[in-house]
Amino acid sequence: MKQILIEKSVLENNDKAAAENRAFLNAQKAFTINLMGSPGSGKTSVLENIISSISLNYNMAIIEGDLYTAKDAARIARCNTNVIQINTAGACHLDASMVRKALSHIDTKHLDFLIIENIGNLVCPASYDLGEDIKVVVMSVTEGNDKPLKYPSMFQRCSAVILNKTDLLPMTDFNIEEFYQDVYSLNENVKVFEISCKDGTGVTSLTRFLMGAIRNKKDV
Amino acid sequence: MHELSIIYNVIEIAKEYAEKNSLKKIDKINMSIGEFCCLQEDSLHFAFEGLQKGTLCENAKLHIEVQEAQAYCKNCNLEFKISFTDKLCPYCNAFSHQIMTGYEILVASIEGE
Ligand SMILES: Nc1nc2c(ncn2[C@@H]2O[C@H](COP(=O)(O)OP(=O)(O)OP(=O)(O)O)[C@@H](O)[C@H]2O)c(=O)[nH]1
Ligand SMILES: [Mg+2]
Ligand SMILES: [Zn+2]
């Protein structure tokens, strides 16, 4: 019997592809977000709300990940933005090689801002680095305020949480104090944006944060 | 949910190293996973039973060791054990986001002949 020491990361291939994506996007100085969250939390709605004001100032592109259909890409295309749809046909997360392939199909010359909308799922996407600058989670008040502690990995690894559908707060038992307590216990440095895609509340402070980050990346 | 693709890669790595070291069969695969990586051990074993058939690992056992999560405190220059909801340094009480271990998913070693 022989024992062979390996100590090799199972995600090594993904991490290599992610590092290549990151090098490519850094060379373009394109600020990149990995946008995650449960199905229906409002990821695409958030994009629809921020595109018009950001694209006045910056060149942006969007990669849409879904298991099936190009419905989200069609919604984004209506906002006059570069968009490409990835269909994973069942896979529960995007990986870095899918993003690399998608990047080869979009015009990345002069790109300032790339958003990758991941598959609606609060678990698996958190483990796969895509080459992004930051991870952002969209969570909606109708999901209940216990989600950060039930799905801690994603909330722990993200830089910002967008709490969406605040227009529905009066209709739910969402406990906002508990929500902040839980999120900060996982990640003290996280930024939280309360927004409603329905009535536009909070959208301006989110776009201000994003444009600041885009500008910072241009300046480095 | 992605346990199946994780195990697929585990078996690929095991086969690669078995070949390099001229093993004819693999008896055991030792995996090491961090407690933050959100993999379900039962699902890993279930996926392994499905995918090992017809490979060098046909009769192999999968052993999984869970590594505790640790963060680094830059005030105190030391590493300490953390959980999802407790990342405060036990000495200076500062929150640390510098997670050193907890996310890794490794093939640690294989045994065979
Ligand atoms: N009331 C209310 N409804 C919203 C809000 N934001 C989104 N919705 C609705 O929530 C539903 C899901 O929104 P999407 O933007 O498609 O969600 P998603 O996260 O992109 O969904 P998937 O891509 O399928 O995972 C839609 O019917 C939206 O109209 C909001 O702020 N308030
Ligand atoms: Mg969507
Ligand atoms: Zn300390």
pLDDT digits 0-9 by tens, A40-77: 999 999 999 999 999 999 999 999 999 999 999 999 99
pLDDT for res A25: 97
The two tokens of residue A143 are 């999901």
Ligand 1 within 6 A of A44 CB? yes
Ligand 1 within 6 A of A72 CB? yes
Q: Largest Cα–Cα distance of chain A, in whole Å?
A: 67
pLDDT tens digit sequence for A140-150? 999 999 999 99
**How high is the mean pLDDT of chain A?**
96
The atom number, within ligand 1, closest to the CA of A45 reads 15
Mean pLDDT of A87-101: 93
pLDDT for res B1: 62
The CA B25 to ligand 1 mean position distance, Å, reads 51
pLDDT for res A188: 93
Helix (H) or strand (E) holding A76, with range, is: helix A71-77
A6 vs B36: CB contact, 8 Å cut-off? no
Burial class from Cβ neighbours inside 10 Å (0-12, 13-18, 19+) for residue A168 reads middle
pLDDT for res B98: 93
| Gap between the Cα atoms of A94 and A126, Å rounded | 10
Question: Which residues sit with Cβ closer than 5 angstroms to ligand 2, an ion?
Answer: A 43-44, 72
Partner A contacted by B95 (CB < 8 A): yes
Rg (CA), chain A: 18
| Gap between the Cα atoms of A134 and A156, Å rounded | 12
pTM over 0.90: yes
Q: For residue B97, what pLDDT band results from cuts at 50, 70 and 90?
A: confident
The CA A7 to ligand 3 mean position distance, Å, reads 30
Tokens 């086969």 appear where?
A: B15
The CA B78 to ligand 3 mean position distance, Å, reads 7
Ligand 1 within 6 A of A164 CB? yes
Q: Do A59 and A110 touch, CB atoms closer than 8 A?
A: yes
The two tokens of residue A129 are 């680095």
Q: For residue A91, what pLDDT band results from cuts at 50, 70 and 90?
A: confident
pLDDT tens digit sequence for B43-87? 999 999 999 999 999 999 999 999 999 999 999 999 999 999 999
Which pairing describes strands A82-87 and A60-66: parallel, antiparallel, or unpaired? Answer: parallel
Q: Which domains does chain A have, with CATH numbers?
A: 29-219 (3.40.50.300)
Predicted ipTM beyond 0.95? no
Mean pLDDT of B25-48: 95
CA torsion A161-B71-B38-A206 (nearest 10°) is: 10
Tell me: pLDDT of A220 over 80: no
| Gap between the Cα atoms of B15 and A155, Å rounded | 35
CA torsion A202-A204-A210-A212 (nearest 10°) is: -130
